[in-house]
Amino acid sequence: MSGVPALEVTGAGLRYGRTWALRGCFASVPQGRVAALVGPNGAGKSSLMRLAVGLRRADEGEVRVFGQPPRGANLPRVAFVAQDKPLYPELTVAETIRAGAGLNPRFDVQGARRRLDDLGVPRRKRIRQLSGGQRAQVAITLAVAKRADLVVLDEPLANLDPLARHEVMEGLMSAVAERGLTVLLSSHVVAELAEVCDHLILVSRGRVQVAGDIEELVSAHRLLVGPSGTTPAGSYDVIGRSDTERQTTLLARVRGPVHDPRWTTRELSLEDMVLGYLRAPEAVLAPRPVAL
Ligand SMILES: Nc1ncnc2c1ncn2[C@@H]1O[C@H](COP(=O)(O)OP(=O)(O)OP(=O)(O)O)[C@@H](O)[C@H]1O
């Protein structure tokens, strides 16, 4: 079954009342990947997560998790950590773990305790006494201990300082390595995602604008810099451009070599690529169904 994507979104749309929050979205996340879900405020990231975890059903198209709709018997395979990391503030960490175990017979109590001990989260403390980073670690630990195969995290790094962000990501990566999880996490901190994520879903204005393997996506793009008023020879699509009096910079998806002695070609970072697409909302690079 490993060929079945952990998450497959096929032409999916979601509306609140009469207003569509998502329309015609396509994306596919293979199993074992750590996928970054990025996009501006209000783009539709949380809505896409709600579809993935079965909190909402698609109003058009289809969403499948490990080949099945995210409901019924398939639902225990998915864990969701909402943006506000809902935990009971008056419970201690130890009581929180026991409560998790009471709610879910598959809950890995020993694993959860070990994980929090390794992360230095004191089990005797009440949730309200923990730092934001420690609370995030507890919430993620509960999700992992559910023995879910797909863990969906809505902005796990929000409100955390850089060190706490790093520790949360490290904790998450150790869980991925131990359990072979697939992770879908939304974030606004694109530069930090490049270290840990290998898959990208960029949502913008209610649709998936870019989706795919990060390495493949980044290596397919270049910054081309040359004299203004000229165009380099070669095979590429221009995603965005910026001009000064003397030079033009193109963000391009290259399809072959770009040969022009007056132009230099630079590799770009994930953040450069994401920003380039966000500035060019009409440029779409996401999987689409093969025409029947
Ligand atoms: N419960 C709701 N009822 C009505 N409209 C909603 C609801 N939830 C979200 N929306 C709308 O749907 C659109 C997408 O919102 P969503 O929360 O999915 O975006 P987001 O990308 O997660 O944003 P952010 O980065 O700010 O969290 C927005 O226009 C938002 O106002």
User: What is the ipTM score, two decimals?
Assistant: 0.97
> Where along the chain do its domains lie?
7-212, 220-278
Give the residue, by CA position, lying nearest to ligand 1 atom 7: 16
For ligand 1, say whether the CB of 221 is within 6 Å of any of its atoms. Answer: no
Give the residue, by CA position, lying nearest to ligand 1 atom 6: 16
How is residue 95 written in tokens?
């009581």
287: helix, coil or strand? coil
Is residue 56 a contact partner of residue 20, using CB atoms and an 8 Å limit?
no
Residue showing tokens 């910079």: 249
Using CA atoms, how far residue 103 sits from 106, 110, 266, in Å, is 9, 16, 53
Write out the chain's pLDDT in tens, 292 residues.
Answer: 568 999 999 999 999 999 999 999 999 999 999 999 999 999 999 999 999 999 999 999 999 999 999 998 888 899 999 887 778 999 999 999 999 898 888 899 998 999 899 888 999 999 999 988 889 889 988 988 998 999 999 998 887 888 888 888 888 888 888 888 999 999 988 888 888 899 999 999 999 999 999 999 999 999 999 999 888 988 999 999 999 999 999 999 998 888 889 999 999 999 999 999 999 888 888 776 544 4
Query: Which of 16, 51, 203 most suits a substitution to test ligand 1, by most atoms within 8 Å of the C-beta?
Result: 16
Name the class of domain 7-212: alpha beta
The reply to whether the predicted model has a pTM over 0.90 is yes
For ligand 1, say whether the CB of 47 is within 6 Å of any of its atoms. Answer: yes
Report CA(138)–ligand 1 centroid distance (Å).
26
